[in-house]
Amino acid sequence: MNGTKPVRGANGRFRGGRRVNVESIPRLPTFPVAWALADPRGRPYFTFWTGPDGTLSYVVRLERTEDGAAVKLTTPRGESFPVRVIRRPMPRRGGIEILFRCPNCHRPKRFLYLLSVVDRSLVAYQGPRCQACAGLRWASQGIYLGVFGRGFRAAMAGGQGRRLPYPRHPWDPRAVSDPRTLMAEFPDQLRELT
């Protein structure tokens, strides 16, 4: 951060600062990119995330560039971020795995995140980054539950066997090649974007 060591509590755990969990940030998986790369029409894909109330929260336009070696993400504010794409052969039946090359650390990643933590604030101006480069943590990171703690948590969950207290599906996107198909679902918000 600013050259100081993080403050630790008596138990040795980090205390202070802002912690932002990955589960609360919209993530960009590779499926919309695969669709944009495979589209024979070469059309850009309108990729969007909806909030808990059903309104559009985040929007990006994915477009194929560099003969399929990269995609360009464009935000409604006009910011463009090129992201390289890696294709790897799968071990069976000749399939191809598509990964992102993180624009910051250049490592292959399955997901990129639209927001980053900068000086204890969430910002979007840095563009898409991997979880580590964005400064995000997992909700389970830094917490150890012993046998008693796991039993207590299971009892509090009502014995329903819920293992993922932080569902991902609200922050995974939907993607379409023609945003006009969504006019009935988001009439006012799409008019503002176009």
Choose the weakest-confidence range: 35-44, 77-86, 99-108, 150-159.
150-159
Q: Where are the alpha helices (DSSP H) in 74-169?
A: 147-156
Choose the weakest-confidence range: 40-44, 78-82, 103-107, 168-172.
168-172
Higher pLDDT: 92 or 47? It is 47
Span 88-112, mean pLDDT?
91
Cα dist. 88→8, 84, 109, 145 in Å?
Answer: 42, 13, 12, 37
pLDDT above 90 (res 104): yes
One-character DSSP codes across 173-194 = -EEES-GGGGTTTSHHHHHHH-
Residue 63 belongs to what H/E stretch?
strand 56-65
Please state, in angstroms and rounded to a whole number, the distance separating the CA atoms of residues 146 and 164: 17
Domain boundaries, the chain: 22-193
Whole-structure pTM value: 0.74
